[in-house]
């Protein structure tokens, strides 16, 4: 199923016992607009960890001025795992050792890219939606009680655990091997199986 922002916003609104919306425009309901903004914030936060679908090992070529631009790149690292000699300054690659933005040839890096949810797999979209609901559950507007009902709270936990099981079963993980992976969104949420 293709990504549909309106559908994901309405999932979050429904979980928070807020009225659903028919469209998302600049004049959208205040609560719905907060959900849209939070979805994008959560997406960036989770994407920055590096997933198989937004991570690539490639050579970046300099432009005509000898500069390598990093538009759409969240982070990068050296594929040889040596000390990183580059930095992102104003979306341009900076060589720390040479103290220069100028490159004579391409540079190979492992890139974690900032990709829209349209290009993300379904499990990641569900993860973003569930975490968005989780983070907004006690803070969104005056339209809800202090917390979600225990039924809704349990649904979010079950959904998050089902997503984690799906990730585990498919052998999907963050950048790096499972043995060396220290990050788990489950621990970020404080969720247990």
- Annotated domain spans of the chain: 5-49+116-189, 55-113
Residue 17: predicted pLDDT: 81
Residue 7: predicted pLDDT: 92
Interacting residues of 172 by C-beta distance below 8 A, sequence separation 6+: 51, 52, 123
Whole-structure pTM value: 0.68
Tokens of 42: 């959560």
Per-residue pLDDT in tens (0 to 9) along the chain, 193 residues: 567 889 999 998 888 888 888 888 766 788 888 999 999 999 999 999 888 899 999 999 999 999 999 999 998 887 776 677 889 999 999 999 899 999 999 999 999 999 999 999 988 998 898 889 888 887 765 444 444 455 556 666 677 777 666 666 665 554 444 444 444 444 334 443 3
Give the integer Cα–Cα distance in Å for 39 and 175. Answer: 22
Interacting residues of 165 by C-beta distance below 8 A, sequence separation 6+: none
In the 8-state DSSP scheme, what is residue 80?
T
Residue 135 Cα to chain centre, angstroms: 14
Interacting residues of 59 by C-beta distance below 8 A, sequence separation 6+: 106, 107, 108
Give the integer Cα–Cα distance in Å for 28 and 36. Answer: 10
Residue 102: predicted pLDDT: 96
> Do 21 and 6 contact (CB within 8 A), yes or no?
yes
């Amino acid at each position: 199923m293709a990504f549909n922002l309106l559908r994901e916003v309405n999932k979050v609104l429904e979980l928070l016992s807020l009225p659903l919306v028919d469209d998302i425009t600049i004049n959208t309901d205040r609560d719905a607009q907060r959900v849209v903004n939070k979805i994008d914030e959560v997406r960036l936060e989770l994407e920055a960890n590096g997933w198989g679908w937004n991570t690539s090992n490639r050579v970046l070529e300099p432009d005509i001025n000898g500069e390598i631009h990093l538009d759409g790149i969240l982070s990068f690292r050296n594929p040889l795992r040596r000390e990183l000699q580059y930095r992102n300054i104003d979306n341009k690659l900076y060589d720390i050792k040479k103290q220069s933005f100028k490159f004579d040839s391409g540079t190979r890096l492992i890139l974690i890219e900032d990709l829209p949810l349209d290009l993300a797999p379904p499990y990641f979209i569900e993860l973003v939606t569930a975490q968005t609901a989780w983070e907004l559950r006690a803070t969104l507007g005056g339209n809800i009680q202090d917390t979600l009902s225990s039924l809704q709270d349990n649904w979010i936990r079950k959904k998050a655990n089902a997503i984690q099981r799906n990730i585990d079963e498919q052998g999907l993980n963050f950048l790096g091997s499972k043995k060396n992976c220290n990050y788990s969104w489950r621990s970020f949420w404080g969720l247990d199986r």
